[in-house]
Amino acid sequence: MTGLHRNLTQKINDLLEIFPIVLILGARQVGKTTLAQQCRPNWKYFDLERGSDFDFISQDYDFFFKEYHQHVIFDEAQSDPQLFNELRGVVDRNRKNKNRFILTGSSSPVMLNAVADSLAGRVGIVEVGTMKINELLKEPLPAFYQLFENEITQQSTEFVKDLPLSNTDYLAYFLKGSYPEPVLSQNGKFHQNWMDNYYQTYVNRDIKKLFPKLDEIKFRRFIAILSSLSGTIINKAQVGRALDVSEVTIRDYLEIANNTYIWRSIPSYESANIKSTTKMPKGIYRDTGLLHFLSNVTDREKMLIHPNVGYNFESFVIEEIIKGVQAANVIRWDYYYYRTRNGAEVDLILEGEFGLVPIEIKFGANTTLKQLASLSKFIKENNVPLGIVINNSNEIRMISERIIQLPVQVI
């Protein structure tokens, strides 16, 4: 993925002007190391999963930081939890000095606790996902995300109407996902072999290392079962019966999958205006390439006729949107879904200083107002100026006074 610009580069550069340390978190093989080195190509690099680097640093921290007191990249920092405590002392000796260290890491309870305990107020944290489609195409972040940089009003509709349309075949990326190495390969067999290796390595090495007491056979089965549940509210009791484990164990498995960036848990939107919302979170696979691999969806035809294609497409679009907003000039925002006990549902709710934006996702090319009863009701009850429908149409058009249809190519 050399030469591919990441949307988060500017955000990382900005955080380095504010904090002495920036921590880049994300799943394996999403490009954390490359991103860190692209942001600071001249900094000294140490890989803490390499024995020689680990030993050099950990055997004598005082000597190491005397030699390398700034401009250092520590890759896979979760391998050395003590490093975070040592960094606190180094940083505190000169708190005014910014732009000193970049750390990368795959999530682990030990590392996150170490960051919270030792580096609070000293570190800016950036979450990096798989590549966004515009990155793979070597294009800038779509203009759509400028919508969230200011308060959204009914006048914002005029901005959205004029968004440029791309000719990109998004369904090809929906099928293959966006882990950099396999999606950029032109070899179909390589893609499948890479996914198989990634899945095995994730369970057999990463999870086993982070959670040595975990039943890896049952956890592997759990990850496979999740591929049929993306986009839904997980019935922990039902999944527990399938695996012959307790609901508490399934809750723990979900937390592990979420914290290692395979799965994204999306909380329910709650408001004083709405009394009957479902409280349980729903979840999505973060990468549809891995999702399709686990579902044995190997080509476009199988993808299009798969019974869960609608849910899977919803997962794909939600991830694209979240990655886009994360990269835009937006602060203090969050994401939710909305569902009432009567079954009314909105797939994605974005809330921040820009306001409240409900988004409905449909796989088809034609969406009618009748299909959007829940979205319309949500807009009315919350006095929302603009609701959005994202589908596979080829035109931007108003479906109602406050609902606009956007083709997936816009995001």
CA–CA dist 273, 80 (Å, integer): 47
Average pLDDT of span 333-352: 93
Structural tokens at position 233: 């509210």
| Residue in the structure block whose two tokens are 């100026």 | 385
pLDDT in tens, 289-307: 999 999 999 999 999 999 9
- Other residues' Cβ atoms within 10 Å of the Cβ of residue 85: 13
Residue 134, pLDDT above cutoff 70: yes
Residue 242, pLDDT above cutoff 70: yes
Structural tokens at position 101: 């260290």
| Residue in the structure block whose two tokens are 């959204």 | 152
pLDDT in tens, 137-185: 999 999 999 999 999 998 999 999 999 988 899 999 999 999 999 988 8
CA–CA dist 291, 12 (Å, integer): 29
DSSP character for 164?
P
CA–CA dist 196, 217 (Å, integer): 16
| Domain spans in the chain, listed from the N-terminal domain onward | 9-127, 133-410
pLDDT above 90 coverage of the chain, percent: 82
The CATH code belonging to domain 9-127 is 3.40.50.300
DSSP character for 403?
E
CA–CA dist 324, 311 (Å, integer): 20
Terminal CA-CA length for the chain = 22
Average pLDDT of span 327-335: 93
CA–CA dist 388, 360 (Å, integer): 6
Q: Return the minimum-mean-pLDDT range out of 55-69, 71-85, 201-215, 263-277.
A: 263-277
Q: Return the minimum-mean-pLDDT range out of 270-274, 279-283, 402-406.
A: 270-274
CA–CA dist 276, 228 (Å, integer): 27
**Which pLDDT band, with edges at 50, 70 and 90, does 108 fall under?**
low
Q: Which helix (H) or strand (E) holds 190?
A: helix 188-201
Between these two residues, 381 and 113, which has the higher pLDDT value? 381
Average pLDDT of span 185-208: 88
What was the pLDDT predicted at 270? Answer: 84
Residue 102, pLDDT above cutoff 90: yes
Confirm whether pTM is higher than 0.85. Answer: yes
SS3 state at 333: strand
Instruction: Give me the amino acid identity at 210.
Output: L
DSSP character for 142?
P
